[in-house]
Structures are given as structure tokens and as C-alpha cells.
């Protein structure tokens, strides 16, 4: 049976070139970067090359990048590290109601440590208001975190406007953006956008799992959250993941080749899919559909059918999608994002996420629409009374 993979916001298939780069690093450049012999120097060269590639793509300094185990660690290092390092200036933090759990849970941990947290509401499309953020800033505010692209409904937050609102209020306040769903889809230049810290994950851009990085502007004070051998200038101890870092940097380089063409094609597929979904009775699209939405994410609520039931019905046809964020747990839970945008209660557990990539084809979109048209009337016959 043919497989149609439409869960690319959960993870992506690695590029063939990345697979080869990872294999080479594991077979040839397998030394420890801390070793003084040639094998160690070869491994260190791989890390330097990766750092150069990523710094060039973001137009930042190489020393401003910290390699991590992925998006969750990058978010935690940014938030916990910056809050702890700057708490003498204040203990007030601001975030939004639609953040990924890696940000939300880290913020709740900081609340337990005595910090105060303001959670900004969003509108029906998931947008954070720059004016609302401006009004929430206090004299003791030290850190604001708002994601670049929402991982569930694809909302592209106005990060430049939000960062401007923060820095106009008080230049010393730090602005962090979780860019895990945005990197590889948008040209992101943190210094131009006013972003002080930026989190990225490798496996969302056809790179390996278990690797990511955090951009930290050189003027930002941040404390490590992992301690040990003092790797990466003491900011992230632990033997560097040479295969992962090499693969992630190559994946980023490939992702940004012909980026405009790739994203335009994904956006065309998204439009075809959303227009088809609207023709199906009892279906609605969540989040913005135009330029305000990411080119690769579509959230669909289906009346009368639970998300888990429809997910497995599609799976039987070889179509793989997601019921909300796959990063949180494999156990279904009510989405904070869907609640925040005011989705009716009866649709909270009836929403699926379809997410595309450069490998997605028009034929796959057509087959998925046909499957939905066939399955939904049948599944609704068994709806709960």
C-alpha cells in the first residue's frame, strides 16, 4: 500500500545527502571534539563547518550559536538560562497562550521558582497583539517568549512587531522566539528582526532527530542548565553530537536552496487542500489561510468524528497525519492552542493537523481529499449519541 506522509510538523524524512553525511561522521569523523589527536581535530572541524553554515544562514556570529539536543532543550536553555541570569533586574516573564509545551512547561517551572508570569491571549486566528504585549510590560519584566510559527494551526506571529514593542518599552528586556516550525520555511535574520534568542530543531527540516541549536545574541546574559566538562564555552556541557550537528547543518543548507520555489509550491498544495476541505460537509479550517499562515500546516476540525478515530481510519488507507502536537505525548489531550482561539468545545477532540513538505505531491493531496470524502459519512454513522 502506498504511504502518504502528511505529518511533517511532527518530524521529517531526512534528505539522502544528510543520511550520507551522518553516516560519514559516524564511520570516519567519529572522534571526540575534546581529544587533542587528529581524530578529535577532524571531529572539531565538522562542528566548525556546521557552525559556519548556520551562522551564515542566520547572518549572525558563529560564537552566538549553542548546539543542543533539540528544540525542547533550546527553549529550556533560553528561558531558564536567561531568567536565572537576569533575575536581579526583575522576575516578570511574558509568553502567549499558544506556545509549545517546551516553552509553557519551562515557564511554569520558573513560576515555581518565584517568577511571575503573564500569559497573553490570542485572537480567533491565534495572533498575539503587539499592543496587548506592550500593555503587559512592567518595570520588572525581563523576558518575553512568543513563537514564530504555531505548530498546531500554523499562525505566523508578527515577531518583528512584537520584538519592537518589547525593545521600545525597555531595550534591556529579552525577546525569545521558538522558531522550530519557521526555520527552513522563512528567511530568518534575528538581528534584523530584533530577536535576542532563537530556538531551532534539526528534525523539522529533514535533518536528524536529537539535535538542535539556540541562537543567543552576544550581549545577552544566560546561564547554562547543564553542567560538566565546560563544552561550548561552558554554555552546554556534554560531548558534541558530531553526526547530528553535521547532518542538521547540511539539512539547513539544502532547505534554503531555492527556498522561495519550495515554499510557493507548498503554499499551492495547502490552498488546494484547504479549498477541498471546505467542500466537505462539517469541516472547518482553523487559523489564518493566507500569508498569515505558514505554507505547510493545516488544522482541520471535523464535526461528529473524534480525531483519534479519523486518524486511524486514514492510517488504514496509508495516510499519516497528527491529532494536535505530536511532541507533547502519544496520549490525546485537549489542545491549549485550540482552546485559546475559542474553538467550540465539541470540536476540541475532533481536530487533525495535516502538514506538508517539499516531497508532498499534488496526487497525495487529491488522494487524501478523496479519503476524507469517503470516510467521514461512514464514521459519522457511529458518532457518540
pTM: 0.94
> Are residues 294 and 206 located together in one domain of the fold?
no
Helices (H), 59-100: 71-85
Q: Is residue 294 part of a domain?
A: yes
> Are residues 291 and 192 located together in one domain of the fold?
no
Say if residue 334's pLDDT is above 90: no
DSSP strands (E only) in 218-350: 283-286, 297-302, 319-320
Q: Are 76 and 225 in contact (CB under 8 A)?
A: yes
Confidence bin at 351 (pLDDT 50/70/90) = very high
Distance CA 286, CA 239 (A): 42
Given 46, 283, 327, 357, the catalytic residue = 327
As a whole-number percent, the residues of the chain with pLDDT over 90 amount to 85
> Are residues 285 and 206 located together in one domain of the fold?
no
Give the contacts of 214 (CB within 8 A, at least 6 positions apart). 65, 66, 68, 74, 77, 78, 197, 198, 199, 200
Name the residue with higher pLDDT: 135 or 289.
135
Distance CA 61, CA 67 (A): 14
Say if residue 332's pLDDT is above 60: no
Q: Is residue 305 part of a domain?
A: yes
Distance CA 382, CA 385 (A): 9
Find the range with the poorest average confidence among 35-44, 46-55, 90-99, 191-200. 35-44
**Residue with the three cell numbers 541562537:** 215
Distance of CA 34 to the CA centre of its chain: 31
> Are residues 178 and 284 located together in one domain of the fold?
no
The dihedral formed by the CA atoms of 64, 65, 66 and 71, expressed in degrees to the nearest 10: 130
Q: How many CA atoms lie within 13 A of 381 on its CB side?
A: 4
Please identify, among 239, 255, 271, the residue that sits at the C-terminal boundary of a domain: 255
Q: Is residue 385 part of a domain?
A: no
> Are residues 223 and 360 located together in one domain of the fold?
no
Average pLDDT over residues 360-384: 91
> Are residues 210 and 317 located together in one domain of the fold?
no
**Residue with the three cell numbers 470524502:** 373
Q: Is 357 a catalytic residue?
A: no
The candidate with the shortest Cα–Cα distance to 325, out of 336, 315, 317, is 336
> Are residues 128 and 225 located together in one domain of the fold?
yes
Q: Are 295 and 274 in contact (CB under 8 A)?
A: no
Report the chain's C-alpha Rg in angstroms. 21
Range of the domain at 327: 4-12+258-380
Find the range with the poorest average confidence among 159-163, 262-266, 334-338. 334-338
Distance of CA 104 to the CA centre of its chain: 13
Distance of CA 93 to the CA centre of its chain: 21
Average pLDDT over residues 29-35: 83
Domain tally, the chain:
2
> Are residues 275 and 320 located together in one domain of the fold?
yes
Q: Is residue 129 part of a domain?
A: yes
Please identify, among 255, 271, 293, the residue that sits at the C-terminal boundary of a domain: 255
> Domain holding 314: CATH number?
3.90.1150.10
> Are residues 102 and 119 located together in one domain of the fold?
yes
As a whole-number percent, the residues of the chain with pLDDT over 70 amount to 96
Say if residue 214's pLDDT is above 70: yes
What element of type H or E holds 349?
none
> Are residues 233 and 317 located together in one domain of the fold?
no
Q: Which three cell numbers stand for residue 91?
A: 522576575
Q: Are strands 92-96 and 116-120 parallel, antiparallel or unpaired?
A: parallel
Confidence bin at 329 (pLDDT 50/70/90) = very low
> Are residues 128 and 76 located together in one domain of the fold?
yes
Average pLDDT over residues 83-103: 97
DSSP string over 41-55: HHHHHHHHHHHHHHH
pLDDT tens column, 140-195: 999 999 999 999 999 999 999 999 999 999 999 999 999 999 999 999 999 999 99
Q: Which three cell numbers stand for residue 117?
A: 508570569
> Domain holding 28: CATH number?
3.40.640.10
> Are residues 170 and 242 located together in one domain of the fold?
yes
Please identify, among 231, 255, 279, the residue that sits at the C-terminal boundary of a domain: 255
Find the range with the poorest average confidence among 107-116, 226-235, 236-245, 264-273. 226-235
Q: Are 118 and 135 in contact (CB under 8 A)?
A: no
Q: Write down the mean pLDDT value for the chain.
A: 94
Q: Is residue 110 part of a domain?
A: yes
Confidence bin at 34 (pLDDT 50/70/90) = confident
Residue 171: phi and psi, rounded to 5, are -60, -25
pLDDT at 36: 86
Amino acid at each position: 500500500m502506498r504511504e502518504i506522509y502528511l505529518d511533517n510538523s511532527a518530524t521529517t524524512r531526512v534528505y539522502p545527502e544528510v543520511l550520507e553525511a551522518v553516516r560519514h561522521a559516524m564511520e570516519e569523523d567519529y572522534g571526540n571534539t575534546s581529544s587533542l589527536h587528529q581524530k578529535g581535530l577532524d571531529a572539531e572541524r565538522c562542528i566548525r563547518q556546521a557552525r559556519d553554515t548556520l551562522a551564515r544562514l542566520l547572518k549572525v556570529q558563529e560564537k552566538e550559536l549553542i548546539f543542543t539536543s533539540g528544540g525542547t532543550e533550546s527553549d529550556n536553555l533560553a528561558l531558564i538560562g536567561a531568567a536565572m541570569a537576569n533575575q536581579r533586574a526583575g522576575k516578570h516573564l511574558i509568553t502567549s497562550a499558544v506556545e509549545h509545551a517546551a516553552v509553557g512547561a519551562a515557564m511554569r517551572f520558573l513560576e515555581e521558582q518565584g517568577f511571575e508570569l503573564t500569559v497573553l491571549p490570542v485572537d480567533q486566528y491565534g495572533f498575539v497583539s503587539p499592543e496587548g504585549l506592550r500593555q503587559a510590560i512592567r518595570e520588572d519584566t525581563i523576558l518575553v517568549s512568543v513563537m514564530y510559527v504555531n505548530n498546531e494551526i500554523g499562525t505566523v506571529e508578527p515577531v518583528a512587531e512584537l520584538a519592537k514593542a518589547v525593545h521600545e518599552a525597555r531595550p534591556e528586556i529579552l525577546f525569545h522566539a521558538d522558531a522550530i516550525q519557521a526555520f527552513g520555511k522563512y528567511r530568518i535574520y534575528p538581528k534584523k528582526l530584533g530577536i535576542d534568542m532563537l530556538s531551532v530543531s534539526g528534525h523539522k527540516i529533514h535533518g536528524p532527530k536529537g539535535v538542535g541549536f539556540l541562537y543567543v545574541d552576544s550581549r545577552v546574559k544566560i546561564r547554562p542548565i547543564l553542567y560538566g566538562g565546560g563544552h561550548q564555552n561552558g554554555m552546554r556541557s556534554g560531548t558534541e553530537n558530531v553526526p547530528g550537528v553535521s547532518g542538521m547543518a547540511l539539512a539547513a543548507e539544502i532547505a534554503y536552496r531555492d527556498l522561495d520555489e519550495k515554499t510557493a509550491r507548498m503554499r499551492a498544495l495547502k490552498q488546494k487542500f484547504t479549498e477541498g476541505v471546505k467542500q466537505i460537509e462539517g469541516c472547518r479550517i482553523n487559523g489564518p489561510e493566507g500569508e498569515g499562515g505558514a505554507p505547510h500546516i493545516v488544522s482541520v476540525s471535523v464535526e461528529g468524528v473524534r480525531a483519534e478515530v479519523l486518524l486511524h481510519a486514514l492510517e488504514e488507507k496509508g495516510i499519516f497525519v497528527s491529532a494536535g502536537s505530536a511532541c507533547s505525548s502519544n496520549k490525546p489531550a485537549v489542545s491549549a492552542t485550540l482552546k485559546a482561539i475559542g474553538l467550540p468545545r465539541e470540536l476540541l477532540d475532533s481536530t487533525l493537523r495535516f502538514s506538508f513538505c517539499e516531497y508532498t505531491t499534488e496526487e497525495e493531496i487529491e488522494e487524501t481529499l478523496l479519503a476524507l470524502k469517503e470516510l467521514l459519512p461512514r464514521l459519522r454513522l457511529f458518532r457518540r449519541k
